Chains A and B, each alone.
Chain A
Amino acid sequence: MVGTPVLFVAIPLLAAFLIPLFGMIWKESVRVIPGIVLAYLLVLAINLMNYVMVNGPIVEVIAGWAPPLGINLVFSAFSGFLVTLMVFLGLIVWMYSYRFKRNVDFEPAKKYFLLLMMLITGSVGMVLTGDIFNLFVFIEITSISAYALTAFYTGRDSAEASFKYLMLGSLASAFLLIAIMIIYSQLGTLNMADIGSKMHLMKPAYKIMAIIFLFTALGIEAEIFPLNGWAPDAYAEAPGPVGAAFAGIVVKAAIYASIRIIYTLFDLSGAYDLLIVIGMITLIVAETAAIRQEKLKRMLAYSSIGQMGLVMVAFGMGTEEGVFAALFLMFNHAIIKSLLFLSGSYLVYNSKDKLIKEVNGIGKFLPITSFLFVLGSFAIVGLPPFAGFWSKLSVLTAAADSNMLLIIALVLIVSIIEVVYYMRVVNRIYFFKKDESVSTQRPTLNALIAMITLGAIVLIVGFYPDAVTGFLHRASADLMDKAGYINDVLTLN
């Protein structure tokens, strides 16, 4: 072991505080430090992941108090996988936005990277924490930096989007706090493993109230319909890489939290059906709304929401296959949707309204960016031999094994809608005449590297899914093993 899970929270948080200080000495350091930090964390995460794959989960105790009393971090196959993914995406986003605009001022860059580090701290914390109150804290850290990043362009629209996010985010915090209070009042503990082991002691009425508030609170963060009103605006108005960070990092953390709560904390079988129903509704509403969008990023946002709905459906199946499919879907979505946001924001770089019709004929001027966007589109609608196909296949296989014919049919019908709106954009990029008034912006080298890395992963996973399936199988087995999790945490001394 070369490090401990606590570093994932401590180092970026420290970096976030140090960025302004170092910035006073050497201006370039505000850009460089996050990269170094994230690169280190990625190496650490991969090392820990390798360790975990062999030796089982690492439970880290903070300040010497053993669970259930103390605060603990759990780096298991499941959470470790997500942490690795998040840190990797963080690195990609950093690389992409290293010089997003060629001559950015020092001041915005400082804010941007500071907030990005906070965002990663919060999200990684949400995944690693084994304590429900700490979960609340990390959600707040994530949310606050997310609000600020949404309003980063300081325009009227971004301020409005940020305000909507803030409003719903506050509701989420309130509900979360209520739920935590209910649980604490009933069980007298905040440790997740402890709660899970004692859940049968809780009175059903309280249990149901707690899960409803928890589900609503996390649902707001995880973009579940009808709680996701903030999402389209926030994605559309935030800078492109932030959209990628939202889709790849923040939402993944929120999904993790809701799944952990439903799988580990509570023992209500009805919750699984609820996940399926809500997920299905989210999927259908989001995809049908996406087809009528006029703005590129908004379309991607709805598509992102839809994918989260599908992830929920897969988790709701409650089988190990379903969990595997959901994790695969999360992985692919994180990679592909980030690729789409990153390349998409260059396609509409100089446009004011970021309309879809402004990408007409841009394929000739931005060949690589356009190609990557098309690759992402093909992958996200599940065309083989790209990455998205394997996750779609595993979702459908899992559904078929659970005898959910209707779900399969609905998912596939919705996929057709998804195909339509992505292909419309692809057609526009390559087969339309370019509007003379639209000026194109060549991506910077670091942005190209970031996008090509993601594109390469899409292709690698597409041709060789074994590259990730091993981790995913371990991670899904880990999530399903509720007794094991409780045991690992509570027997630690």
Chain B
Amino acid sequence: METIFLIFILFLGGAIVTWMAGKLGNIVQDILFLATILVPSYLFYTNVATGYAIDFNVGGIELSWGINAFGWLFSLIVLGLGAFAAFYAVSFMKGKERRGAFYLNFILSIMAMLGILMSQDLISFFIFWEIMTWSSYIMVVYNGNDVQRIGIKYFVFSAIGAYAMLMAIVLIKSMTGSFMIESLISSYTSFSYDMQILIPVLLLTGFGVKAAIMPLHVWAPGAYSNAPMAYTSIFSGSLSKMGIYGMVIVFTTMLSYVPEGVWFRGVVAWLGGFTAVFGTLWAIKQDDAKKLLAYSSVAQLGYIIVGVAIGTPLAMMAGLFLAVMHAIFKGTLFMVVGAIERQTGTSNFTEVTGLIRKMPWTFVAALMSIIALAGIPPLGGFVGKWMLYESLITSDHYLLVIVIFFSSTAAFLYCYKFLFGFFLGQEEEEWAHVKEAPALMVVPMVILAGLTFLLGTYPGIILKPIANGMQTLGYGMTQGQLWDTSIILNEWGNQVVLQPILYAILGIFVFFVIFVTIKGYKNTRYVTTKDISSSGEVPLAHENLTFSQGFFQPFLRAVEPAMRRQIDKYYTAIANGLESLFDFTRRIYTGNGQTYAIFVIVFVVILLIFKNSIFG
């Protein structure tokens, strides 16, 4: 049998078996779950080479599955993060209800994402896209909180995106006579002008929904925060990247052939920029860590979209590198929140504080991911952001650079809020009992956090697959490597100009740490956080000195005019208006037989009146 089929059969069969295996005991179910994620992944990386493809036929439709270097790059995000999240999930789900359904949809999501990457035709692409949508939908409503609002909003936006894509797909089919992505790309230039505009608009809408681009992002905060955190880490980490994956293909193939592509790039890049700014502002406002990270995901995806939409080799590389990094650090951060929620029962900054001494490893993971998120050297986020800035400046997008810079500076605010809210600040009696999360949860987090460091120091590890993928998309290599275009990379990655700086800095850093702390650490004693300078008085144990309400209030007051209007409210208003309208159409059916009889007569009369114009 073909390995590709075997992979998908294993995924699908494993998903169903795992789902059913609840009665066999939890351990069996957990092992089945992990096996279902890991075995096909192993098969994929050992037996499926890039450039592999297989054609077959379903329902009279030619389908084609295969993998190219670009899809292979994203498969790292999907299967790599998926494997870590799977281990985490086993521990996270211990003792929870409906584990079978969780595992089923987790596996289906991974399978669907891999399927998207392997689809060489639009129909299997769409099928996997929709499987991804509904399996993630079930996860969004899984906890049962506010499902009619958040869940339905997610599904409606997903459906808008998916149906826009479906419309594009059937139009493409009627124009090219084939569902193959290849034939779409090759015949795109021969489309009529209207179609050259309409097709990318529809496709970008479809991908934009998953990539949470403004104004299609309103589902994201609710959906990300409502799903179980073990799932959200792949939801935000990998699933949203499928939108990016599609966008990249649209931008690099179709839109690069026509002059109007410039406009598309400009508009989408600016939308990405606004997404980044407003996502950040709203993230600062949140008091719930899940919501904060959800908005932060929206903002971070904004950066990625900017890079992808600008589309110069460097910008594309920056976007893709950020996409990989975002998967890693945001996946980790959601796991951190999940661990805290599991150990304390809440994820609200205003409730839980001072966990640093109770959950040190979780703190280390959170700290490293936050530093990577903020784009501070030497962790991975820095390299990506650097490339993004550089590409924006070299491609003359000056205002966009300022927008992006504003949003990444403002991101420090919520980064700090996240760390302070959970780990720092007053240590309260209420949380004295909290223990570190189980090892199975901590280890994936710490390994992922370590990856951010590894990729920050040796970005070449992931830049090689990115460069390979970009060559598949038609970015030529003139001389040397693709990443030679960036200043930072040839000084940081290949050559030895910046690395001495890095190590010198580390040396000084270590020197100061030793100088200040070692002696002090031996001689000083640890005191509680109540033992602080407070105007000469000693605060008592029950006095609440926690600062968590109205964090960043002054900043929010300053940006209040920008946040007064919320696009979500407009959508809600439209939805409510439509429901009222539908209530009106419902009243057409009065329930009165006489009215119905009149309808019949009126129908006949209308047909008779207009018979000439109808039947001619």
Touch between A and B in complex, CB under 8 Å? yes
CB within 8 Å of B: which residues of A? 160, 163-164, 167-168, 171, 175, 204, 207-208, 211-213, 215-216, 219-220, 226-227, 229-230, 232-233, 268-271, 273-274, 285, 288-289, 291-293, 378, 383-385, 389-390, 393, 396-397, 399-401, 403, 405, 408-409, 412-413, 415-417, 419-420, 423-424, 427, 430-433, 464-466, 469, 473
Chain B, Cβ-Cβ closest to A294 = B586
Contact A168 B596, beta carbon cutoff 8 Å: yes
Interface residue B597 (Cβ < 8 Å from any Cβ of A): yes
Chain A, Cβ-Cβ closest to B127 = A384
**Across-interface contacts of B159 in A (CB, < 8 A):** 415-416, 419
What is the CB-to-nearest-CB distance from B376 to chain A, in angstroms, rounded to a whole number?
41
User: Among the listed B60, B147, B607, which residue makes an inter-chain contact with A431, where contact means beta carbons less than 8 Å apart?
Assistant: B147
What is the CB-to-nearest-CB distance from B457 to chain A, in angstroms, rounded to a whole number?
43
Contact A227 B600, beta carbon cutoff 8 Å: yes
Interface residue B201 (Cβ < 8 Å from any Cβ of A): no
User: Among the listed A204, A213, A288, A469, which residue makes an inter-chain contact with B582, where contact means beta carbons less than 8 Å apart?
Assistant: A288
Chain B, Cβ-Cβ closest to A392 = B166
What is the CB-to-nearest-CB distance from B231 to chain A, in angstroms, rounded to a whole number?
15
**Across-interface contacts of A288 in B (CB, < 8 A):** 581-582, 585-586
> A291 vs B152: C-alpha distance in the bound complex, in angstroms?
13
**Across-interface contacts of B130 in A (CB, < 8 A):** 383-384, 389
Which 8 residue pairs are nearest across A and B when measured between Cβ atoms? A229-B596, A465-B59, A400-B174, A412-B163, A384-B127, A270-B615, A400-B170, A431-B144
Contact A469 B60, beta carbon cutoff 8 Å: yes
What is the CB-to-nearest-CB distance from A274 to chain B, in angstroms, rounded to a whole number?
6
Contact B611 A212, beta carbon cutoff 8 Å: yes
**Across-interface contacts of B147 in A (CB, < 8 A):** 427, 431-432
Decide yes or no: A419 and B155 within 8 Å by CB, A285-B585, A285-B588 being known contacts.
Answer: yes
* Highest count of chain B CB atoms <10 Å: which of A293, A393, A473: A393
**Across-interface contacts of B603 in A (CB, < 8 A):** 216, 219, 226-227
Contact A431 B152, beta carbon cutoff 8 Å: no
By secondary structure, the B interface counts as helix
Interface residue B263 (Cβ < 8 Å from any Cβ of A): no
> A383 vs B158: C-alpha distance in the bound complex, in angstroms?
12
Identify which of residues 134-153 in chain B touch chain A, using a CB-to-CB cut-off of 8 Å. Answer: 134, 137, 141-144, 147-148, 151-152
**Across-interface contacts of B591 in A (CB, < 8 A):** 233
Interface residue B473 (Cβ < 8 Å from any Cβ of A): no
**Across-interface contacts of A168 in B (CB, < 8 A):** 593, 596-597, 600
Contact B174 A175, beta carbon cutoff 8 Å: no
Decide yes or no: A397 and B173 within 8 Å by CB, A164-B593, A292-B579, A432-B144 being known contacts.
Answer: yes
By secondary structure, the A interface counts as helix
Contact A212 B608, beta carbon cutoff 8 Å: yes
Interface residue B604 (Cβ < 8 Å from any Cβ of A): yes
User: Among the listed B167, B585, B596, B611, which residue makes an inter-chain contact with A412, where contact means beta carbons less than 8 Å apart?
Assistant: B167
**Across-interface contacts of B123 in A (CB, < 8 A):** 393
**Across-interface contacts of B126 in A (CB, < 8 A):** 384
Contact A424 B614, beta carbon cutoff 8 Å: no
**Across-interface contacts of A430 in B (CB, < 8 A):** 141
Contact A389 B151, beta carbon cutoff 8 Å: no
> A466 vs B58: C-alpha distance in the bound complex, in angstroms?
6
Interface residue B388 (Cβ < 8 Å from any Cβ of A): no
What is the CB-to-nearest-CB distance from A435 to chain B, in angstroms, rounded to a whole number?
15
Contact B152 A424, beta carbon cutoff 8 Å: yes
**Across-interface contacts of B514 in A (CB, < 8 A):** none
Contact A469 B593, beta carbon cutoff 8 Å: no
Contact B127 A385, beta carbon cutoff 8 Å: yes
User: Among the listed A230, A273, A412, which residue makes an inter-chain contact with B166, where contact means beta carbons less than 8 Å apart?
Assistant: A412
Contact A274 B614, beta carbon cutoff 8 Å: yes
User: Among the listed A167, A293, A465, which residue makes an inter-chain contact with B597, where contact means beta carbons less than 8 Å apart?
Assistant: A167
Q: List 6 A-B contacts (CB under 8 A).
A: A171-B597, A291-B582, A385-B131, A396-B166, A416-B156, A465-B58
Contact A427 B151, beta carbon cutoff 8 Å: yes
User: Among the listed A160, A389, A399, which residue makes an inter-chain contact with B170, where contact means beta carbons less than 8 Å apart?
Assistant: A399
Chain A, Cβ-Cβ closest to B198 = A405
**Across-interface contacts of A274 in B (CB, < 8 A):** 614-615
What is the CB-to-nearest-CB distance from B609 to chain A, in angstroms, rounded to a whole number?
11
**Across-interface contacts of A164 in B (CB, < 8 A):** 593, 596
Contact B59 A289, beta carbon cutoff 8 Å: no
> A455 vs B170: C-alpha distance in the bound complex, in angstroms?
28
User: Among the listed A208, A268, A289, A408, which residue makes an inter-chain contact with B585, where contact means beta carbons less than 8 Å apart?
Assistant: A289
Contact A163 B593, beta carbon cutoff 8 Å: yes
Residues 586-612 of B, flagged 1 when their CB comes within 8 A of A and 0 if not, give: 101101010111011011100110010
> A383 vs B138: C-alpha distance in the bound complex, in angstroms?
13
Decide yes or no: A229 and B593 within 8 Å by CB, A384-B130, A397-B174 being known contacts.
Answer: yes
**Across-interface contacts of B537 in A (CB, < 8 A):** none
**Across-interface contacts of B607 in A (CB, < 8 A):** 212, 215-216
> A213 vs B600: C-alpha distance in the bound complex, in angstroms?
11
**Across-interface contacts of A230 in B (CB, < 8 A):** 596
Chain A, Cβ-Cβ closest to B595 = A229
Decide yes or no: A427 and B134 within 8 Å by CB, A393-B170, A469-B60 being known contacts.
Answer: no
* Highest count of chain A CB atoms <10 Å: which of B581, B588, B600: B600
> A400 vs B60: C-alpha distance in the bound complex, in angstroms?
17
> A269 vs B152: C-alpha distance in the bound complex, in angstroms?
42
Chain B, Cβ-Cβ closest to A216 = B604
Chain B, Cβ-Cβ closest to A285 = B585
* Highest count of chain B CB atoms <10 Å: which of A416, A417, A433: A416
> A127 vs B588: C-alpha distance in the bound complex, in angstroms?
32
> A256 vs B582: C-alpha distance in the bound complex, in angstroms?
30
> A269 vs B616: C-alpha distance in the bound complex, in angstroms?
9
Decide yes or no: A427 and B148 within 8 Å by CB, A291-B579, A419-B156, A469-B59 being known contacts.
Answer: yes
Interface residue B403 (Cβ < 8 Å from any Cβ of A): no
Contact A226 B167, beta carbon cutoff 8 Å: no
**Across-interface contacts of B60 in A (CB, < 8 A):** 466, 469, 473
User: Among the listed B59, B156, B589, which residue makes an inter-chain contact with A232, where contact means beta carbons less than 8 Å apart?
Assistant: B589
What is the CB-to-nearest-CB distance from B423 to chain A, in angstroms, rounded to a whole number?
33
Contact A229 B599, beta carbon cutoff 8 Å: yes
What is the CB-to-nearest-CB distance from A168 to chain B, in angstroms, rounded to a whole number?
6
Contact A227 B127, beta carbon cutoff 8 Å: no
Interface residue B356 (Cβ < 8 Å from any Cβ of A): no
Residues 171-196 of B, flagged 1 when their CB comes within 8 A of A and 0 if not, give: 10110000000000000000000000
> A427 vs B149: C-alpha distance in the bound complex, in angstroms?
10
**Across-interface contacts of B160 in A (CB, < 8 A):** 416
What is the CB-to-nearest-CB distance from A175 to chain B, in angstroms, rounded to a whole number?
7
Contact A416 B163, beta carbon cutoff 8 Å: yes
**Across-interface contacts of A213 in B (CB, < 8 A):** 604
Residues 24-62 of B, flagged 1 when their CB comes within 8 A of A and 0 if not, give: 000000000000000000000000000000000011100
Decide yes or no: A390 and B582 within 8 Å by CB, A270-B615, A396-B166 being known contacts.
Answer: no
Interface residue B583 (Cβ < 8 Å from any Cβ of A): yes
Contact B167 A396, beta carbon cutoff 8 Å: yes
> A469 vs B596: C-alpha distance in the bound complex, in angstroms?
38
**Across-interface contacts of A285 in B (CB, < 8 A):** 585, 588
> A212 vs B600: C-alpha distance in the bound complex, in angstroms?
12
